[in-house]
Structure 1
Amino acid sequence: MSTLYLLHKPYQVLSQFTDREGRATLGDYLDAPGVYAAGRLDYDSEGLLLLSDDGALIHRISHPRHKQPKTYRVLVEGEPDDAALQALRRGVPLKDGTTQPAKVRRLATSELPERQPPLDARRHPHTTWLELTISEGRNRQVRRMTAHVGHPTLRLVRVAIGAWRLDGLAPGEWRRETLHAPARRTANPHHSPQRRSR
């Protein structure tokens, strides 16, 4: 039996528990000794982060061999046309090789809370929300992909890793699940979202 934590990592929080420079870390939001993140999110990215005290589970979630699909809500500069979206679906050439085909669609709204601090709408008057699903985990991959097709990423929020979803968690909140077997996950009956105490 393994314990898994689903955390909504806020903007400008490190995907680690300590920092010598005094920046916000996971330890400001989750007090669970002995857990480690399965993968990471960049400092300026937001959304779902999975953590566990089970090394084998972390490996199953994060190792590229298992190809857990990751879904993001991505706010990009401008309005991507069909050709740009089709390029993302085919795979785009980056410095470390061509990406695998992605699933992508336009969204009318992100259905996410506003970022804190919010994006400056005066500097970015024309933006589009996309939903993008990839099965790779290259460094800053989504940002590089959208930049390649001419639409830099302004905000990046991971909403799903495999079957685990961000649903119901506000920034800084988390919930705990108990997994009884690698192939089956069972939600803890007492898994209401929790937030750090201030």
Structure 2
Amino acid sequence: MLRLMKTCMKRNRHLIRSTSMVAVLFPTVLLSAGCGTKAQEEAIVQKSESVLSASSVVSENSPVVEDLVSTSVLTISNYVEIEFDGAGYDEMGAGTFDLKNASGSTADGDEIKVFATKDLILDQINYVSDEMDGSHLTYIYVDGMLNTKRQIGTGSGTFDLKDSFLAEGEHKVEAVQYDNDQADGKVITYKRKNYTVIPA
């Protein structure tokens, strides 16, 4: 699906410049694919509605419409650049990986809540690991995007939350190890936990 969408965008660049409909077409495809958080999906729908509203009152070649379309396409492009898709993986590999903050720990089955004000730029979340294989590099992905790489065995640490990682709603954290310590290798360890961002 992702490859098809990128190919379509390359073949239809002239259409992207001249029509606002692409801002509606691609979000529709993305939403039907079920990617991203609810907040991200709503943001794209709102952007699409803005483009449609503008196109109904100004001409198709208007700089206003072209600017809105460019912004929408950029948003969509960033939105679909997923670096890791763990949908086909079950938990596997040595040890445990959990998230922890003042609201509780996933090790205890608690829901991890992160309260975020509108002006919050950066936050951190803790992880706790036990007997993971420290001979392999661990990639930590948030919503499919690489957040950081760490050498993890038994211990604890933190990683940053910013930008879309602080968007309202549930977010997926995946700790992944590859057999060759490179993202093109075979996945040998996979751990998945969630946290939820709540407006404060």
Larger radius of gyration: 2
Q: Same fold by TM (over 0.5)?
A: no
TM-score in terms of structure 1 length: 0.27
Larger proportion of helix: 2
TM-score normalised by the chain length of structure 2:
0.27
Which structure has the higher relative contact order (CA within 8 Å, separation 6+)? 1
